[in-house]
Each structure stands twice: as C-alpha cells, then as structure tokens.
Structure 1
Amino acid sequence: MQDIRFSRDKGQREFAMALRKRVNDYFQENNISKYANAAMVTKTVVLVGTYALLYGAIVGGFVTNAWLVLLAWTALGIVTAGIGFSVMHDANHGAYSRNKYVNGVLGWVINLIGGFAPNWKIQHNTLHHSFTNVHGMDEDIDAGKLLRFSPEQERLWFHKFQHLYAWFLYSLMTHMWITTKDFKQLVRYHRSGLLEQHDMSFPKVFAELIFVKVVYYIYLLVIPLVFSPASWWITVIGFAIMHFALGFLLGCVFQTAHVMEAAVFPTTDEEGNLGQNWAVHQLMTTTNYAPNNRILSWFVGGLNYQVEHHLFPNVCHIHYRHISKIVQETAEEYNFPYNTLPSFRSALRIHWNMLRSLGTGQPMPQIA
C-alpha cells in the first residue's frame, strides 16, 4: 500500500488549527457535548423500534397479503438504511457516545444489517476518511472494472453507459456485502497488513465473520422462511427487494458526496506527497447537499453535511447543521472551497453528469 504524506503548508495548517479551535469553542461555550443528545437517542429508538415492528410483522404474519408483505420488506430496507446512516455510522466513528462500549454495541449493528464491523472500520474510517478520492487508497471509489469513479482508473468502452446502469449496480451493493465482499475484503486486508495494524488476528476475525454471516442469514432469511405465513418465494423476493432498496439508498447518499463535478481526485508526486494537508484535502474532495432539508438530513444521519462529517468524524451528526456555519465561514475566510448544493435532486443530477463525464473521458478537475 502506498505511503502517502499530506502537506505541511503553513497556511493550510493555520486553517486547520483555527477551524478546530472554533468548533471546539462552539461546544464549550454552549456547554454542549459533541456526542449524542436526547434527540439522537429518541431517533435511535424510533429507527430500531420501527425495524423491530416491521420484522415482527413479517415473521409473525401480521401482514398476509403478498403485496403488503413485499411492501413491508421494502420498508425494512429503507429503515435499515436509516439505521446504518445514523446509528451504526456514528457509533463506528466513536461519535455516538463517550463510552466506547456503547459505541461498540451500537456499531456492531452493521453485522445485523448485512455488513461486517471490522472490515467497515478499515475501509471507511481508515482508508476512505484518510485518503478520500485518492485512487488506489480510497476503496469507496474502487468498484472494480464495471464502474469508473476516478479519472485515474482505466476507461473501458462500456463506461460510456455507466451513468445509465450505475444505479442498478448500486442496488446490488449490499447483496455483495452478504455474499462475497466481506470475505474477499478480509483476506485482502490480512495480506496488506491492515488487520495487524489494527491489532486484529486474521483467524479470530475470520471466525467472527463466519459467525456473523450465519446469524444474519438465520434471523433475516431462515426464520422468515420458517415462520412467515407468506409463500417461500414471496419471502425470498422480499429479502432481495429489501437489499435492492438498501443498496440503492446507500449508493445514492454516499456517491453524491464525492464522485461529483466540484470534487477533485488528488494525485501524489513520485515520493507520495499530496499538495494539501488533511483538512484541506477533505474540503476539496467532498460535497454537501440539501442543507435546508431537515427531513432528509434526519434520515441520512446528517450525511448531507458530508464536509462536516469528514472534518469532524468524531462528532455526532446531530450537531453538523450547527457547526456547518463555522466550517463554511472559516473555509471562505482562508480562501478554501466549501462545496455545497441546494438539494438532493441537484446532487443526483450532477452525480449523473459526473458518471457520464468519467465514462466518456472528458477532462476532470485535477490537482497535483
């Protein structure tokens, strides 16, 4: 894995220090914890409770009409996305609670929605948050050969159609999680030494992965097949639809934050040096959207404030809207970009355009 070094430019360091101080002052002066508050706890109860009710309705046979059963499975996928965006995401960043055991328990929820916590922490926390949009380091922009998310990737003939078919592939994302991805990813992290860097033993973590997948399939597929009064094929279709909805939502929310026209895809020099420090790197590779849409922000766990999340991943998302003003003002004061779009629809439209540009090989914004 490439050894990458961020810039130590004085002006960029001053920006990062000023921003950190101003955000810390906000919490101290208002006597606010950076972790979850009562509203966040209520949100957690609502999301997890809704998930339990939907699961109970499917397994317990409280809905019997085939179309209503499929609707319940679809709703389960949507609620699962909400839990992933809000509860699991914050917890695995250590941002939900100052108590690491609370974060550990809530972070483990990803295992119950199809993922695997150890892999996710390495891919998301370590690689994506450290080296956002850097080809060969950020696995969030590495979707294999089917999708070209970076101008550094090889462009193949079929990529010119990716703005059309990418949305279907997004819906397959968690289907891959629950089948092959986690196993391949764990082996790759073991071979690259990333597991050892995180004090993880491959045999132990591999055994945990097997256990997690068995539990997942038992509770979310086998039990409904056995106890739901719906036909077995309705259950199987419902399970697939749930993952279509979940994957599609995850893809749309995360990819519209980074694979965008305003975001850059930084490259390093021969010695592995980037032209900006970590904080400025996050500003240049990340895009916010729909800052005034409270309903969307509630559902996606504040991930429409992706700039704030990348700069302060250890702050609970419930605070992003408030600190966004500080971040924007500080970035503008130091003449650094603060990328934001007025709506989620505009973000999807620009992401569509970006996919088409990458697919046809049109010139993209680049920095050295």
Structure 2
Amino acid sequence: MSAPKFSSQGNSFYGELRSRINEYFQEAGKPSTGNYKLYFKAVVLVLSWVGFYIHLVFFTPGTWLALTESVIMGGLTAAIGFNVMHDGSHGSFSRKEWVNKLAGLSLNFLGANVFMWNTKHNVIHHTYTNIDEIDDDIDARPFLRLCSTQRHRKIHRYQHIYGWFAYSLLYLYWVFFTDYKKYFTQKVGSMPLMKMKPKDHISFWGFKVIHAVVYMALPIYMVGFLPWLTGFLVMGLFAGLVLTLVFQLAHTVEHTHFPVPNELNKLEDEWAIHQIKTTANFATKNKLITWWVGGLNYQIEHHLFPKISHIHYPAISKIIKKVCEENGIVYIEYPRMRIALGSHAAYLKAMGQA
C-alpha cells in the first residue's frame, strides 16, 4: 500500500495552533525543549536502573525481593524509554543535538534499536497514525484485531480477555524478533526502511551484542540460568505491558478514528486534524502517571508537537483544547486511568465481534 496524501486547506488549523503555541513560549520566555527537571528525572531513572541491576546480579537477594526488584526494573526500563529515549529521538530532550542523540541511544542499551524506531515511530506512526496497512503500531495480527478493516478471526471474540497478556510480550518480541525482521527485510510493515549507513549496521549489531552480554551472559554467569530466566521474563513482561498500554490507550479506544483513504488515495482531513481524531489523552489528572510515562498520556500534544518536550504538555494542552473548541473539533480525553482502560477494553470487545 502506497502512502496516502492528506487534504490541504486554505485556512490551516495547524497554522493557528503553531501560532498560539509559539506565542506561549515567547511570553513564558523559556525553550520548548527539556529543562533541569527533566535532566534530574533522567539521572534518577538511569541511576535507579543501574542500582537495581547491580543488586540483582552481584548481590543476589532472596526470591521474593528479587522478583519485586525485577518488576521495578521493568517499570524503570519503560520509564527510561518514555522520558529519556523518546524525547531524545524526537530532538526535544535538549537544545543540543549531541545530547538528544545520546538520549536516543538509551534505547539501544535497553535492547532495541533507535534507527529502526525512528523510521517506525517518528516517520510512519507520527505521519500516518491509525491508518491500516501503513501504521505498523496497529498491526498485531493475527492475534489482535485493532480496527474494522482488518480480517476477523474466531479467536478475536476473546481478545478483550487475552489481549492484556499479549501486550506483556511486546518488549521481548520487539528486542528478539521485530528489530531483526526490519533489519533483514529493510521494511517497517509495508513501508521501506530508511537507508542504513555502515555506522548504522555497526551500531545495530554492536548494541545487540552488548545487550546479550549485559542482560543475559553476565547475569546467567552470576546467578545461574533459571534465576536469570525468571527475573528476565518478569522484567520484560512488565515492561512490555506498560509500553503497550501507553500506546493502546492513546490510539485504540472507543472514540478514536481509523481513517481509510478514498479511491484517489487521499485522506479527508489535513494532517493536524487527522492526528487529533486518531489520538486520545488519558489519565491527565494523575500526576504520578504523567511523571512515569514521560507525559505520553498527553498524546494529542505529543502528536501535534513532537519536538516540544513532554514537560510542557500539561500547559500547552489548555491552548490546544481551546483551539479545538473554537474550530468544532472533538478533543478526546479520558481524565481518569480507569475510564481509559474501560474504553480500551470495550473497544477490543467491539472489534472482536464478527
């Protein structure tokens, strides 16, 4: 499937949005990138991960404490991805490019690959959000049916039950399968991968070896195979569940759209309106979740302004919401986590029907 084209409008909605957001930053007198609060959080998350890793591998706590620490490490893995890697790969972590690249490289240390991520996420997902056959993030076939244009299978009638377990597999599946699939096919779904330079190939294989040593070889040598396997699975499954839920609650809920191009391969809306229709905010009243997931519960703000650091999302959300109201555009928001989870479960159940 070739990439569809967005509608172009004379009075651009996005132009008005950018004007007001620029005005906000000018009046506030602060940069749109990260600040000391973000850098402090990044240091806390990374040092916490290192501390728990050292304690688990070199000091071998008792079984229940080890399992608890493995869960915490899974949460920290997701948090580093949300807060450090994600802002860095979008160029919003810092005003300095080399700092952003370093922050983005944290994904390689966590086991995945930032080059693959940039094509999959920054280019494809952020442009063609929720478009079946293009947006790889809504392709969980054959296990899940995430939009009405995908083939229905009998097993899907139970996806609102087993889907939660399937979500926990994301991290392990990502690190050990999908990265390699993208590398060898040079595709992300149906879309071509950006051309890799020699340094990208070296980085891919080099960091995969580092991940194997840090996450597998060294722990197995220190604590034995079964204790390592148990802890690694607990960590990976929890990280996968958290990572997947953030995406699902932002894009696959009852009120988000899944646009289909017309016969001329064109979409009905301009890009910014498309982003708002296909995206939802969740748990916006929960400051702890906002801190942990790097502001990605303010997903509308992120999709409209990915180069603005997540620390500004709560503030600019008020501006975006106001502009949407003025233009009669529905701003999808689930202020409580339980409401968002309920909406996603209801959506899974609806898509599970023939």
For this structure pair, what is the TM-score category when the shorter chain's length is used for normalisation? over 0.9
Match of 2:49 in 1: 51
Instruction: Look up the match of 2:173.
Output: 176
After superposition, residues 97-136 of structure 1 pair within 5 angstroms as 97-136=94-133
- Structure-1 residue corresponding to 2:58: 60
Structure 1 pair 204–40 and aligned structure 2 pair: CA distance change class (3 A): closer
Other-structure match for 2:37: 39
Identify which range, 93-102 or 279-288, moves more after superposition.
93-102
Is residue 2:253 matched to residue 1:265? Answer: no
- Cα offset, 1:343, TM superposition: 0.8
2:141: which partner in 1? 144
Q: Contact (CA 8 Å) 1:160, 1:359: kept in 2 or not?
A: yes
Q: How far is the alpha carbon of 1:111 from its aligned partner?
A: 1.0
What does residue range 171-250 of structure 1 map to in structure 2 within 5 Å? Answer: 171-190=168-187, 194-195=192-193, 198-201=194-197, 205-227=200-222, 230-250=223-243
Identity of aligned residues (%): 38
- TM-aligned CA deviation for residue 264 of structure 1: 0.5
Counterpart residue type for residue 67 of structure 2 = L
CA–CA separation in structure 2 for the residues paired with 1:328 and 1:55: 42
Q: Structure 2: how far apart are the matches of 1:311 and 1:163? A: 30
**Which residue in 1 is equivalent to 2:278?**
285
Equivalent residues of 1:173, 1:248 under 8 A apart? yes
Which residue is equivalent to 2:341?
Answer: 348
Structure 2 runs not aligned, ≥5 long: none
Q: Is the 8 A contact 2:134 2:191 kept in 1?
A: no
Match of 1:364 in 2: none
Amino acid at match of 1:273: K
> With structure 1 as the length reference, what TM-score do the two structures score?
0.93
Is there any run of 5+ residues in structure 1 with no aligned partner, and where?
362-368
Q: Does 1:299 align with 2:285?
A: no
> How far is 1:74 from its partner?
1.4
Q: Distance in 2 between matches of 1:348 and 1:120?
A: 26
What's the CA shift for 1:337? Answer: 1.2
Deviation at residue 204 of structure 1 after TM alignment? 5.3
Match of 2:10 in 1: 10
For 1:157 and 1:282, how far apart are their aligned partners in 2? 31
In 1, Cα distance between the equivalents of 2:137 and 2:186?
15
**Are 1:160 and 2:157 counterparts?**
yes
Distance in 2 separating the partners of 1:250 and 1:329: 30
In the superposition, the TM-score normalised over structure 2's length comes to 0.96
Q: After superposition, what is the alpha-carbon deviation per residue over 1:76-129, rounded to whole angstroms, capped at 9, x for unaligned?
A: 111111111111111011111121111111101111112111111111111100
How many angstroms apart in 2 are the aligned matches of 1:323 and 1:336?
A: 17
Q: Using the alignment, how far apart are the partners of 2:185 and 2:98 within structure 1?
A: 28
**Structure-2 separation of matches of 1:43 and 1:121:** 23
CA distance in 2, matches of 1:320, 1:99: 20
Cα distance in structure 1, aligned partners of 2:159 and 2:191: 33
Tell me, what secondary structure is at the counterpart of 2:352? Answer: helix
The aligned residue for residue 320 of structure 1 is: 313
User: What's the offset of the Cα at 1:290?
Assistant: 1.6
2:335 paired with 1:339: no
Amino acid at match of 2:212: Y
- Shift in Å at residue 190 of structure 1? 4.9
CA offsets 1:188-224 (integer angstroms, 9 cap, x no match): 33597733xx4423x6544432222111010112111
* 8 Å CA contact retained: 1:70, 1:234: no
Count residues in correspondence: 353
Task: Tell me how far apart the structure 2 counterparts of residues 358 and 49 of structure 1 sit (CA, whole Å).
Answer: 42
Equivalent AA in structure 2 for residue 225 of structure 1: I
